[in-house]
Amino acid sequence: MNIGDVARASGVSAKMIRYYETIGLIPPAERSESGYRNYDDNDVHRLRFIRRARDLGFTVEQMADLLALWRDRSRASSEVKKIALQQVAVLERKAEELKAMSRTLKHLAAHCHGDERPDCPILDDLADAAADPGKAPEPARFGPGGIDPVRVRS
């Protein structure tokens, strides 16, 4: 199988497959005479593994850990569990932060007339809310020393 085939079969783009190879997440693929990468079902399997782990929010580093555990089945499942539960905690915390942000914004938007009047409290809050960190008018606080912002992929 060529890289395009595995890409389609695994859901990981050819670009990313090459990238994962360069960073060492996957071992270098065998090459044909002409230099094309050759893959088999095992590789597809592993790439599906990666794809799924990535979609579950694991970092490349964590994926490397999981792949190592997967490769060596004699290892303790407790390690896998530990990694997974760590990830659960991270995901839940991030979800809570997003919810809090959403709540704040929704609250602010609710007081916005939505007509041509220029007195929308959203801007005032954005401008004034952080004036006295610790005394927030709204539920969600993200002041100094607060919660990490969240980066999302468009």
Site for a copy of itself in 38-77 (CB under 8 A): 45-46, 48-49, 51-57, 66, 69-70, 73-77
Judged by CB, which is closer to DNA: 6, or 129?
6
Exactly one of 4, 24, 27, 133 binds a copy of itself (CB under 8 A); that residue is: 133
Listed in sequence order, the residues at least 6 apart from 135 whose beta carbon sits closer than 8 Å to its beta carbon are none
Q: Taking CB under 7 A as the rule, does residue 60 contact DNA?
A: yes
DSSP string for 44-84: HHHHHHHHHHHHTT--HHHHHHHHHHHH-TTS-HHHHHHHH
CA quadruple 76, 82, 84, 85: dihedral positive or negative? positive
Q: CA 154, CA 86: separation in Å to the nearest integer?
A: 26
Interaction between residue 144 and DNA (CB under 7 A): no
The yes or no reply on residue 90 touching DNA (CB under 7 A) is no
**Interface contacts to DNA, rule CB under 7 A:** 2-5, 7, 13-16, 18-19, 29, 32-37, 54, 59-61, 149, 151
